[in-house]
Amino acid sequence: MKYNFDQTPDHRHNGSYRWDLPGTPDDMIGMGTADLDFACPPCVAEALLPIAQENCYNYRQRPEEYFDAIIGWYQRNYGLAVKKEWLSTVPSTIGAVRMALGIWTKPGDAVICQTPLFAPIDRAVAGADCRLIDNPMIIVDGHYEIDFADFEAKIAAHRPKLYLMVNPHNPTGRVYTPAELEKLVEICDKYGVKIVSDEVHGLILYGENRHTPILAVNETAKKISVQIVSLSKGYNIMSLPHAIVTIADEQMQKEWMRQITAFSFGYATNSFAIAAVTAILKGGADDWMKELTGYLKNNLDETLSFIRAHKLPLVPFVPEGGFLLWLDCREAGIGQTELDKFFLEKAHIHLDDGEENFGPEGKGFVRINYAVTNSVLKEALERIRAAFDK
């Protein structure tokens, strides 16, 4: 391999939300928050160093090279012809979701989402004083699927203004198929529901799974959708906050730009983020991503094999994308609430409790981040086995 994913920075002393947690054991293994342990692609450092050496952080325009990189990336990877006027940037994906709520809903309006649902999105809906209408995903043959009958029935009954979609889905790891997306678009268009699509987990994909951006679904989707992506999850640039928002419909563009102009997001450009995103989208990290995906797939396969081989009382839902494994612990004999405490106390592993982080549909589940070195993964799995042996 050209890149070494077996060595990482020391995250116990760099302020990591995942590793540097107060009140946890000194040997705690961080497998919660969704970031990577690995150093960023070399092209990121190469792009950032000249800016740091210049040491001048004045108001900066986004260069044409930046827009060309985004447009080329969407065309190259998805066959999606994006226009420059469709593009804008805000500091975060959840921030973009909250801004969309502020534009296209008013207090008391309904908003529909698939559940289990990432808690910050739930909080964004609550912060807009909207009503969350849940569309629980259903388990079919060990696989999460969208309940389309429930989706349409609730839209017909509650008339939500927005459908907040997370694709690939967090925490289940589902990558929605083109047929599923077409059906979602058809239902939303039928009832006059706009779509806000958070696609932050769409960069790491396994096997034959392919991510389809919402604007690449069909012409109808272009008329009703807001597409949000960030390179943070795939390339580990979380602390260079940067979300790319793409809106094809001219009227929706005007409504969106009227809002973000008020926040001065045209001026508030992070020169480091712009440089990193440009370098990555031009193709500078393509080989790195291929190797990273292979490394993560090996970690995932090893985890699944370990669970089977040791007959651990855990039911994994195999992710089609991302680096997060959703585990059903309901038959494990450890209860169904505050499961993160069990793993922290018995195995010294910090992970995400399903109910706390993803609502009622997550009760009895945990989400574990396997974007760690393979040696750390092996240690974590042995600790889990020992905890259940006891």
pLDDT along the chain (390 residues), means of 10: 94 92 94 97 98 95 96 98 97 96 98 97 97 97 96 98 98 98 98 98 97 98 98 96 97 96 85 97 98 98 98 97 98 95 97 97 98 98 95
pLDDT value at residue 13: 87
For 243, phi then psi, to 5°, come to: -120, 135
- pLDDT the model gives residue 354: 97
Q: Which residues contact 301 (CB under 8 A, 6 or more apart)?
A: none
Closest CA to 174 of 213, 137, 123, 148: 137
Of 67, 72, 40, 132, nearest in space to 359 by CA:
132
Residue 364 lies in a domain: yes
The reported pLDDT for the residue numbered 264 is 83
pLDDT at 268: 80
CA distance 237 to 274: 11
Q: What is the crossing angle of helices 374-389 and 339-347, to 10°?
A: 100
CA distance 348 to 351: 10
Same domain, 259 and 230: yes
CATH, residue 64: 3.40.640.10
Give the domain-ending residue among 283, 316, 348.
283
Same-domain check for residues 51 and 151: yes
| 354 shares its domain with 299 | yes
Q: Which residue among 283, 315, 337 closes a domain?
A: 283
Q: Provide the pLDDT for residue 335.
A: 94
* pTM for the model: 0.96
Which domain does 23 fall in, by range?
11-41+286-389
157 & 237 share domain? yes
pLDDT at 314: 97
Please report the pLDDT score of residue 207 as a whole number.
Answer: 96
Whole-Å CA distances, 77 to 192, 216, 275, 282 = 30, 11, 20, 12
CB 282 within 8 A of CB 72: yes
Q: Which pLDDT value is given to residue 162? A: 98
Q: What does the pLDDT read at residue 322?
A: 97
Asked whether residue 53 falls in the same domain as residue 29, the answer is no
> Which pLDDT score, from 0 to 100, does residue 83 have?
98
Number of domains in the chain: 2
CA distances from 109 to 125, 153, 157, 159 (A): 10, 17, 13, 8
For residue 16, what is the domain's CATH number? 3.90.1150.10
Instruction: Find residue 138's DSSP bridge partners.
Output: 145
